[in-house]
Structure formats: structure tokens, C-alpha cells
Amino acid sequence: MEFVLGTFCRIDLYGSENSQLYDRLFSRLAELERILSANRADSELSALNSTAALRAISVSPELRTVLERALFFAEASGGAFDPTVGPLVQLWGIGEKTPRIPSADEIQAALDMINWRDLELQADGGVFLRRPGMAVDVGAIAKGYAADELVKILREKKVPQALIDLGGNIYVWGAKKDNTPWRIGIQNPLDERGSYVGIVETQSISMVTSGVYERFFIGEDAVRYHHIFALSGTGTDKPGYPVNNGLLSVTVAAPSSMDADALSTTCFALGYEKGCALAEAAGVKAIFIFADKTIRGSAGALDTFTLIDTSFRIE
Ligand code: FAD
Ligand code: MG
């Protein structure tokens, strides 16, 4: 277990305990942090943000891949997912030392700088942020990309079985020795860590949860302000404020952790109906947990789900 990507990252290798391999996996994570972090002034992402409205820069294949996929989900979600959300993330400071509720004017000013259509990926490899003040934040997708990058190494090294947990962004790799499926708990979003609403049985797959319990602060008005923001495409929610649609968490299972990560955030932002439609169109499974303690799934998502906490109920 190491602290990287702003969270505790755990990697368990089974059948090939090998300290060199652990080192290689964690150094890959550290390398990706130096590329993709919005929290470090010396990252490649921060370098990109500093060129907004000035010039295009060429970026690493890693950053390019994440930006391409982020733009795909921005378009697919009608802008509910938007990698140019940076100004809003910085303004609220949720997860930072001094989060606060911004004024309506500040929120409007941040929203004016957010639009994925102004993030230009040029054919020659350049990336250009068209408007002043724009800032890319890939916090909703980059941990998934990092998990996929670790799986590439596991595949190359022929590791038979492994568990990766990048702060709740889980990848179970390979089959267990006796071929029984992995059992992955879905966090109770109303409770402290380690207590589960239910268990999903699965093989080689990523499971990623986005929820109100990951990063939040309680305002002086006793409201819980969490870190997933409603944007223009989000529907009835107030743009610029944390999504407020009755959901506590969304868990997405997919072979690509990058897609599972992006889709868990996107389905959360879109809410149940639109989120379900998007998950089904993408061929992945999504489990939605609501504040009224009901649980719903996209097609087939609850087939392998076992409820443990019976104060919740499946709808
Ligand atoms: P997700 O639901 O996957 O993502 C939520 C995050 O996405 C928000 O925190 C915000 O950043 C962004 N977001 C909010 N609304 C939207 C929207 N509508 N569309 C698109 N994106 C949105 N944290 C630290 O405290 N310190 C660090 O040094 C640090 N370094 C990091 C480095 C890397 C490379 C990465 C990937 C993350 C790092 N983090 C760090 C954590 C990061 O700031 C986010 O909190 C985290 O990625 C959120 O992941 P999640 O799975 O909890 O939530
Ligand atoms: Mg996500």
C-alpha cells in the first residue's frame, strides 16, 4: 500500500510475490501522477493548463489517450461529464484544506470557462485550450487509466491473479486458483469505510464507484457538498453546484477501468434514467444507490449482486 494519486493505492499479487514487480507497478503510478495530476504545479497537465488561450503544446501519449477518452464521454453525456471542469473544482476546493461555498457570480464565472468543445486535440499531436482561464481536470477518469496501465504490466509479466485498489477504483485481474469468482463489496455510502451494502461476484473486471462520501464538506447550512458537479448537460440540477439528484453512489463494472471510472462519474451526474441508458449503450453494468436506501441496476447488473445490508432494498 502506498499513497499516490492523492489516495491510498493497494496492489496484491497472487502467485507471483515479487518485490521488483511491486516497485515497477508503483513507479508507473508515480510516473502517471507526474503527468496527470491537477494537484501538482509540476505535472504535464498543469503545464498544459498554463498555456490556455496562448498556444498549443504537444503532450505525452498518456495524456493524449486520457483526453481523447474524456472527450468521448463528454460528447456521449451531452456535457454532463466535462474534463474542462477544472475552474469549478479549484473554486470549491472540495477535498482541500479550506473548501467553501462560492458566490453565484464566482460560480457563473467558472462555468463560463468550462466547455469541452474548446479543448482541441490537433491532428499533429498538439493540444490547445482555446479560451483564457480554461483548466483541464481528469480526476474523474485518470485513476481508471492508471489501473489499466498496471493491468498491461500484469499481462506482460504473466501474473496469474492480482487485486488493484486505487482508492476505491478496483481491478480484479485473472481467476482465483480454484476458479471461484472474486467477491467485491460495494461500499455503504451512508457508513464508514469497510461496511458494505452488498457483494458482487465477478471475474477479471474493473469496478469503480463514484459517490457523495468520497470527498465532501458540510457547509454552515448543514448541507453536504460533494465533489461531482452538475454542468449544463446534467438536467434539472443547478449548474456549478454538486449534483443533487437523490443518488448516493454509482458503481460501474467494465473491462476497461478508464471507462468504468468515467462512466461511474457520468452516470452519477446524469441520474438513473439517462445514466442507465448510457451504461447499456456502452455495454457495461451500473448499480445505483439512492438516499432513500433503494438500489437499482442497469440491465443484468444486479444478477450477480447479493444484498448484505437489509436496511437497503432492491427496486
Ligand atoms: P470520480 O467520481 O471519479 O471523480 C470526481 C472528480 O472529477 C472530482 O473530484 C473532480 O475533480 C472531477 N469532476 C467533478 N465533476 C465533474 C464532471 N461533471 N465531469 C467531469 N469531472 C468532474 N487528490 C489530492 O487530494 N491530492 C493529490 O495530490 C491528488 N493527486 C491526484 C493525481 C492524479 C493523477 C489523480 C487521478 C487524482 C489525484 N487526486 C489527488 C484525487 C483527485 O483530486 C480526485 O479527488 C479523484 O480523482 C476523484 O476520484 P473519485 O474516484 O473519488 O471520484
Ligand atoms: Mg470517475
Whole-number pLDDT of residue 96 = 86
Mutate to test the pocket of ligand 1, among 37, 75, 288 (most ligand atoms within 8 A of CB): 37
Whole-number pLDDT of residue 191 = 86
d(CA 92, CA 98): 9
Whole-number pLDDT of residue 235 = 57
Q: Which residue has the higher pLDDT, 192 or 70?
A: 70
pLDDT tops 80 at residue 287: yes
Domain ranges of the chain: 1-25+57-315
How far, in Å, is the centroid of ligand 1 from the Cα of 249?
15
Express as a percent the part of the chain with pLDDT over 90.
83
Those residues whose C-beta lies under 8 Å from the C-beta of residue 267, and which sit 6 or more positions away, are 210, 250, 252, 275, 276, 278, 279, 286, 288
Summary mean pLDDT of the chain:
94
Please, what's the b/e burial string for 27-64 (b: 16 or more CB within 10 A of its CB; e: otherwise)?
Answer: ebbeebbebbbbeeeebbbeebbeebeeebeebeebbe
Nearest to 71 by CA among 3, 140, 133, 24: 140
Closest Cα to atom 24 of ligand 1: 6
Whole-number pLDDT of residue 236 = 60
d(CA 251, CA 244): 17
Assigned C-alpha cell, 299: 440491465
d(CA 193, CA 88): 27
Q: 229: how many CB neighbours lie within 10 A of its CB? A: 27
Closest Cα to atom 44 of ligand 1: 139
Segment among 28-32, 43-47, 147-151, 178-182 with least mean pLDDT: 178-182
CATH of 1-25+57-315, one of 3.20.20.140, 3.10.520.10, 3.20.20.30, 3.40.50.150: 3.10.520.10
- The pTM (predicted TM-score) of the whole model is 0.96
Whole-number pLDDT of residue 233 = 55
Question: What is the pLDDT averaged over residues 122-143?
Answer: 97
pLDDT digits (tens, 9 = 90+) for 234-271: 556 789 999 999 999 999 999 999 999 999 999 999 99
